[in-house]
Copies of this chain bind each other. A is one copy, B any other.
Amino acid sequence: MRKQLIVGLLCIPFIAAAQQDLAKYVKPIIGTQKMGHTYPGATVPFGAVQLSPETDTISYELNGKYNGPVYNYTAGYKYEDKTIVGFSHTHFSGTGHSDLGDFLIMPTQGKLQLNPGTADNPKNGYRSAFSHDQEISEAGYYKVKLEDDQILAELTASARVGMHQYTFPKSDDSHIILDLMAGIYNYDDKNVWTYVRVVNDTLVTGYRQTSGWARTRTVYFAMTFSKPFKSYGQKNYDKKQAYRGFWGKFDQTKNFPELAGKNLRMYFDFETAEQEKVKIKFALSPVSQENALENMRAEVPGWDFNKVREQARESWNKELNKIQVNTSEEDKVNFYTAMYHAFINPTLYTDVNGEYKGLDQNVHKAEGFQNYTTFSLWDTYRALHPFFNIIQPSRNNDMVKSMMAHFDQSTIKMLPVWSHYANDNWCMSGYHSVSVVADAIIKGVYTGDPEAALAACITTSNRRDYEGIGEYIDKGFIPAEKSGTSISNTLEYAYDDWCIAQLAKKLNKQDVYETYMKRSANWNNNFDPSTGFMRAKDASGKFLPKFDVMSTHGQGFIEGNSWNYSFFVPHNPVALIEKMGGKQKFAARLDTLFTMHLPDEFFADTEDITREGIIGGYVHGNEPAHHVAYLYNWAGKPWKTQERVRKILKMQYKAAPDGLGGNDDCGQMSAWYMFSSLGFYPVSPGSDTYSLGSPAVKSAVLKLENAKTFTVDAINQSDKNVYVQKVLLNGKLITNQEIRHTDIVNGGKLTFYMSSKPAK
């Protein structure tokens, strides 16, 4: 007994030393200003609940401008704002379009006001002024003083439960508002239906249905209060209300426990002593009120706010410690905040009992995996999912299984394009889930049936009536008449088809391999030899006469002009270089891209980024050129890759609210940061290689799920020493500027020797 005790005591400090408090470097506030579109609130890794403040809920005018002012509020919060409307439970991180913002809660005191009020005059509604001086945003915890009523608001979360703690001044007239009309990207008729059941004086359950970016979406909830409310009520803002005879039987505005309608706001009244804390647990479920309650009971059975906060931080530390970097304090903030933002999405979409709502709107049980949602695949196939294949292989395996479940439930028979909450909004070009699927299988991460996965990829790529796929198959390009993003689609389909070919090769399907290798060359069909740029064609195959290499809109692209998109052949840089006139010319073009000036008229074309989000004509704030800095490696000038990458790392990621030059895009920008900081990048997911760049860290230890470690050392690292003199993998010189996935997951050491001079 004594001996065991001693062993136990000895072990504890060892474990504690191994796991650092890296959460302290996480600053969720990074990216909340300007275009980052991140949120500052509380969530746990890949959590289903994202409990975060809203600073505005401007209505989206359906027939108004597409990217209207509400575009700023995709994450619900803008650092520039002076008021907080309330705290809601679901948020995208870094997206360029939005939805969510479910179940807005706000504590108030004094005269009950059910309208949110305005930013100019918060006291005319339930919203409140706040200042960043009295705001703390940490991994898994958010705190702010609501100045209007001097209420301290604190938030934390478990995977499926948001926990609120409100410290009130003394009053007979304290309220908690539950605004069931509020939502992000709200517009008329977005709120389809709301049902609420006040089960008793501490428990409320219900659901909210919306039709927004997700067309058919229901979120169920269970909400408990730490103390009984003394009374409650609602206001129904519906223009027309159901069967009026019904309303006469009870007074349904006050203490009536069964509510339903399209537009409801509720309130709960309390008496509070001075500095009394009223806590709320708010659980979500995609399936039912009962599952929400079960989630709550399983994850947060008690009322200890600090314990939930500590568990949230602990869950972050567990993930963050998977990579321990040695770098400057500022870069640690950048690195671990990037890791935090990368591990926010996709989000869990399974209840504790394994049930989830499928794309077919049926309830399914996830057997042998956790179901995930929020797949922003046009962004995340590039670096986020490849990053997961190294650091989160189990979760990425489940994500691929989630995509396969989506496919199985799809009547359209497509893998997800941009899916969230049992819907696909089909946003952006390509069918990039095939890249994620192929990459996970090729890298040995996926444990499902690879044959079925290949079949799903093939079926997806042959959905002829989707975004020009039929023309693409028949002609090898998409006529401009058929799609406004004809070139983006052709180039991205070609890359995706190459992924399918790689997967087919892995599974020894030679015929499929050949078919898709042929399709993967379709990028050639949009290449205009006369200009050397990718250029739109009409149905007859002629290039369109009006052509502007600087412009995005009307030229067949999305989120990137021809300057950026013309480099989009990630799967075959060698052929592209040849097409563009050889290595010298190609490198010179890359130089031009990074040094040219993008006039304002064309910058306006470039969505989702700030002026800081571009370097010359290179648009880092959007994704299509994310691999481009690494292409110098193929042009025989790896030192240019090295200097460009280091410059991008410095210029595009800063440890400040406005530190992100463009949307974080569900972690893609952050994954780029981590890969590039570590010195390598997956230029073409679906390949098992990573192209080398210039590490920004002094060293890093990657702790893999297979218990092996992979270490990156940068000898002579400094801000000036951005050039790599030589690279050793486990002591052996690398001459081809790449490492393989197995080099990483088998464990080992990658040693960069840094210098201030390029190794030409």
Q: Which residues of B contact A250 (CB under 8 A)?
A: 412, 426, 465-466
- Taking a contact as CB atoms under 8 Å apart, the answer to whether B361 and A425 are in contact is no
Query: Given A189-B240, A260-B211, A412-B258: A195 and B361 within 8 A (CB)?
Result: yes
Tell me if A427 is interfacial: C-beta within 8 Å of chain B.
Answer: yes
Residues in B with CB closer than 8 Å to A207 are 361
In the complex, the chain B residue whose C-beta lies closest to that of A242 is B211
Interface: A360 (CB within 8 A): yes
B197, B260, B360: the one contacting A411 at CB < 8 Å is: B197
- Residues 404-458 (chain A) with a chain B CB within 8 angstroms: 410-412, 425-427
Once the chains are docked, how many angstroms separate the CA of A257 from the CA of B362?
16
* A560-577 interface code vs B (CB 8 A; 1 in, 0 out): 000000000000000000
Q: How far is the CB of A589 from chain B (nearest CB, A)?
A: 33
Using known A-B contacts A192-B193, A289-B360, A411-B198, determine if residue A466 contacts B249 with beta carbons closer than 8 Å.
yes
A698 at the interface (CB under 8 A from B): no
Contact among B197, B212, B260, B290 for A242, CB-based, below 8 A: B212
Q: How far is the CB of A178 from chain B (nearest CB, A)?
A: 16
**CA gap between A361 and B197 in the complex, in Å:** 9
Q: Mark A63-90, 1 if CB is under 8 A from B, else 0.
A: 1001000000000000000000000000
Which residue of chain B is the closest to A62 with respect to CB atoms? B240
A235 at the interface (CB under 8 A from B): no
Asked if residues B193 and A467 are in contact (CB atoms below 8 Å), the reply is no
Say how many copies of this protein the assembly contains.
2
B193, B216, B360: the one within 8 Å of A216 (CB):
B193
Question: Are A245 and B465 in contact, CB atoms less than 8 angstroms apart?
Answer: no
Assess whether A243 is interfacial by the CB under 8 Å rule.
yes
A260 x B62 contact (CB < 8 A): no
Instruction: Name A188's contact: one of B209, B240, B363, B425 (CB within 8 Å).
Output: B240
Smallest CB–CB gap between A655 and chain B, Å?
A: 34
Most buried by B among A240, A244, A261: A240
Closest CB in chain B relative to A461 CB, distance in Å: 15
Residues of B within 8 A of A212 (CB): 242-243
Residue in contact with A289 in the complex, picked from B199, B242, B251, B361, CB distance below 8 Å:
B361
Beta-carbon contact of B209 and A193 below 8 Å: yes
Is the C-beta of A215 less than 8 angstroms from some C-beta in chain B?
A: yes
Of A211, A411, A426, most B-chain CB atoms within 10 Å: A411
Does A246 have its Cβ within 8 Å of any Cβ on chain B? yes
Residue of B nearest to A99 (CB): B243
Q: Which residue of B lies closest to A192 (CB)?
A: B193
Are A192 and B192 in contact, with the CB atoms below 8 A?
A: yes
Contact A411 B215 (CB under 8 A): no
Contact at B213–A243, with CB atoms within 8 Å?
Answer: yes
Tell me if A347 counts as interface (CB < 8 A to partner B).
no
Task: Verify if A27 is at the interface (C-beta below 8 Å from B).
Answer: no
Residue contact B425 to A245, C-beta cutoff 8 Å: yes
A258:B362 contact, CB within 8 angstroms: no
Contacts of A425 in B (CB 8 A): 243, 245-246
Assembly CA distance A535 to B410 (angstroms): 64
Q: How far is the CA of A238 from the CA of B467 in the complex (A)?
A: 24
Within 8 Å CB of A261, what residues of B? 211
Say yes or no: A215 contacts B249, CB within 8 Å.
Answer: no
A583 contacts chain B at the CB level, 8 A cutoff: no
Instruction: State A52–B555 Cα separation when bound (angstroms).
Output: 56
* A603, chain B: closest CB distance, angstroms: 22
In the bound assembly, the distance between CA atoms of A241 and B189 in angstroms comes to: 8
Q: Hey, which chain B residues are within 8 Å of A251, CB to CB?
A: 465
The answer to whether A401 has its CB under 8 Å from any CB of chain B is no
With both chains docked as a complex, state the minimum distance between the C-beta of A585 and any C-beta of chain B, in angstroms.
37
Q: List the B side residues contacting A484 at CB < 8 Å.
A: 248
Q: With an 8 A cutoff between CB atoms, is A703 at the interface? A: no
Evaluate contact between B362 and A290: CB separation under 8 angstroms. yes
A288 contacts the other chain (CB 8 A) = yes
Given known A199-B411, A411-B199, contact A260–B426 (CB-CB < 8 A): no
Q: Select A197's contact among B198, B249, B360, beta carbons within 8 Å.
A: B360
Say whether A467 contacts B249, CB under 8 Å.
yes
**A97 is an interface residue with CB less than 8 A from chain B:** yes
Contact: A97 with B215, CB < 8 Å? no
Q: How far is the CA of A262 from the CA of B484 in the complex (A)?
A: 29
Question: Measured between alpha carbons, how far is A240 from B243 in the docked complex, in Å?
Answer: 24
Interface residues of A in 184-209 (CB under 8 A from B): 187-190, 192-193, 195, 197-199, 207, 209
Are A288 and B362 CB-contacts (below 8 A) given A97-B245, A243-B215?
yes
- CB-defined contacts of A240 to chain B, threshold 8 Å: 62-63, 187-189
Partner of A215, one of B209, B242, B257: B242
With A and B bound together, what is the CA distance between A385 and B261 in angstroms? 34
Q: List the B residue with the shortest CB-CB distance to A363.
A: B288
Query: Provided the pairs A251-B465, A257-B411, A412-B257 are in contact, do residues A216 and B244 lie with their beta carbons within 8 angstroms?
Result: no
Q: How far is the CA of A192 from the CA of B263 in the complex (A)?
A: 13
A216 to B208, CA, bound (A): 12
Give bound CA distance, A211 to B213, whole Å: 24
Chain B residue at minimal CB-CB distance from A60:
B243
Q: How far is the CA of A753 from the CA of B251 in the complex (A)?
A: 56
Cα(A209)–Cα(B215), bound, Å: 15
CA distance A251 to B482 in the complex (A): 12
**Given known A-B contacts A197-B360, A249-B466, A412-B257, A244 and B62 have beta carbons under 8 A apart:** yes
17 A-B pairs with CB atoms under 8 Å apart are A187-B240, A189-B239, A189-B262, A190-B242, A192-B262, A193-B209, A197-B360, A197-B361, A212-B243, A213-B243, A245-B426, A249-B426, A250-B426, A250-B466, A288-B363, A289-B360, A290-B362
The 8 A-B pairs at the shortest CB distance, nearest first, are namely: A257-B411, A249-B426, A211-B242, A216-B260, A215-B260, A213-B243, A215-B242, A189-B240
Chain A positions near chain B (C-beta within 8 angstroms): 62-63, 66, 97, 187-190, 192-193, 195, 197-199, 207, 209, 211-213, 215-216, 238-246, 248-251, 255-258, 260-262, 288-290, 360-363, 410-412, 425-427, 465-467, 484
5 further A-B contacts with Cβ under 8 Å, apart from A213-B242, A213-B246, are: A63-B240, A193-B211, A197-B361, A212-B242, A212-B243
